[in-house]
Chain A
Amino acid sequence: MKFTRRETMLMALGATAATMLPGRAMADVDEKVAEFTGGAEIGEGGLTLTAPEIAENGNTVPIEVSAPGAVSIMVLATGNPTPGAAVFNFGPLAGAQSASTRIRLAKTQNVMAVAKMADGSFVQVSQEVKVTIGGCGG
């Protein structure tokens, strides 16, 4: 079998597209983070993310975020079709900059939290959650 120049080009294009597909979800995560931070540097520390190591049911995974002195905290499910989960904005009467909720995880993945501190700096933390049964239908 012999390939013409045109066929070779098409195959190369196809291969590039195929390798780029898995990167799409990660690009969404980067985009979400950039939107939240405005491209600022992200440090570490001062933010705690509590999530189970193994979640049997991806439909309801309890998580808790806590960052004393934070203005807002964003939670991302990096392996979901749409990575955004929630953004908590704390008002003047918030007793503590912490909140818990339940999220859906489509598969085993890293759950990530990014907090905006009162001084305008950002910190992030992430934790892997193993999911036995995914929680996005399908």
Chain B
Amino acid sequence: MADNVKPKVRVPKTASAGEVITLKTLISHPMESGQRKDGDGNLIPRSIINRFTCDFNEQNVIDVTMEPAISTNPYFEFEAIVPETGAFTFTWYDDDGSVYTEVQEITVG
């Protein structure tokens, strides 16, 4: 359904143990709200990403339920605690069943 869905995330490469870091995520997606009409006056069906989660070493950081009022190319900025070296997993769930995942590693030095 949605073409060229590309996740982008910004995670620092290193952190100190227990540090709170800021994460920024962006994913290209039309987020069709289901309210718009095409040229012929037909309703364009809803097609959005309905859920976004971020986990660190399988522990949850944030879990967002998304509705049509979220803008095109959904952007999220939030903070996470880094207790140890590991990887952040970012997951987006599309209405059409697709799941987009991005993994970023971070080293605690």
Q: Which A residues lie at the B interface, using CB under 8 A?
A: 59-61, 77, 80-96, 98-105, 135-138
CA distance A101 to B76 in the complex (A): 5
On chain B, the number of residues with a Cβ less than 8 Å from chain A's Cβ atoms is 32
Return chain A residues, CB-CB under 8 Å to B67.
82, 84-86
Can you spell out 29 A-B residue pairs with CB atoms less than 8 angstroms apart?
A80-B69, A84-B67, A84-B69, A86-B65, A86-B67, A86-B70, A88-B62, A88-B64, A89-B62, A91-B61, A93-B56, A93-B59, A93-B81, A95-B22, A95-B79, A96-B20, A99-B62, A99-B64, A99-B76, A100-B78, A101-B64, A101-B75, A101-B76, A103-B69, A103-B71, A104-B71, A136-B35, A137-B33, A138-B36
CA distance A99 to B80 in the complex (A): 11
> Is B103 among interface residues, defined by CB-CB distance under 8 A?
no
Return chain B residues, CB-CB under 8 Å to A60.
71-72
Complex partner residue of A94 from B35, B36, B80, CB under 8 angstroms = B80
* Residue ID in chain B nearest A100 by CB atoms: B77
Closest chain A CB from B77 CB (angstroms):
4
Q: Which B residues lie at the A interface, using CB under 8 A?
A: 20-22, 33, 35-37, 55-56, 59-72, 74-81, 83
- On whether the beta carbons of B35 and A95 are closer than 8 Å, the reply is no
